[in-house]
């Protein structure tokens, strides 16, 4: 598997296996980076879990914890979008279909079914050759 192409390019097609492996890899690396960044910044990723903490302290701790989360999310946005676009291409749809996830509830279900469970188009399509063929 060409990892550089999988995570950085918006061109081509991928089938379900590289899609799921790519997403799993992103999630694992993202969590590891988030924990390392939180340790380096001296914050906790779950600061408001202390039941003895005052509400104003919990709010302050949560806002401090958001910095590593936002940094890591922005770093990993490009690779995630690249994977999503290639999977939509395998379904013979534009990568812009990723925007369906902004539709509450239905969008996430639609994305999961289309990209995660349905087979791509057989043979070549306008986005490239069949990744299984």
Mean pLDDT of 78-90: 98
Q: What are the backbone dihedrals phi and psi of residue 10, each rounded to the nearest 5 degrees, phi first?
A: -100, 5
Q: What are the backbone dihedrals phi and psi of residue 127, each rounded to the nearest 5 degrees, phi first?
A: -105, -5
Domain boundaries, the chain: 10-117
Burial class (CB in 10 A: 0-12, 13-18, 19+), 55: exposed
Question: Residue 45: what pLDDT?
Answer: 66
pLDDT one-digit tens code per residue, 42-76 = 776 666 667 777 878 777 777 777 877 888 899 99
pLDDT one-digit tens code per residue, 97-133 = 999 999 999 999 999 999 999 999 999 999 999 999 7
Q: What are the backbone dihedrals phi and psi of residue 67, each rounded to the nearest 5 degrees, phi first?
A: -60, -55
Question: Residue 131: what pLDDT?
Answer: 94
């Amino acid at each position: 598997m060409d990892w550089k192409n999988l995570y950085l390019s918006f061109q081509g097609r991928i089938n379900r296996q590289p899609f799921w492996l790519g997403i799993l890899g992103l999630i694992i690396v993202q969590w590891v980076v988030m924990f390392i960044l939180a340790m380096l910044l001296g914050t906790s990723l779950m600061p408001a879990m202390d039941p003895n903490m005052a509400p104003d302290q919990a709010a302050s701790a949560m806002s401090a914890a958001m910095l590593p989360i936002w940094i890591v999310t922005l770093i990993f946005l490009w690779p995630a979008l690249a994977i999503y676009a290639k999977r939509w291409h395998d379904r013979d749809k534009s990568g812009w279909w990723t925007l369906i996830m902004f539709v509450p509830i239905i969008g996430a279900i639609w994305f999961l079914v289309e990209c995660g469970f349905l087979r791509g188009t057989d043979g070549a399509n306008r986005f490239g050759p069949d990744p299984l063929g």
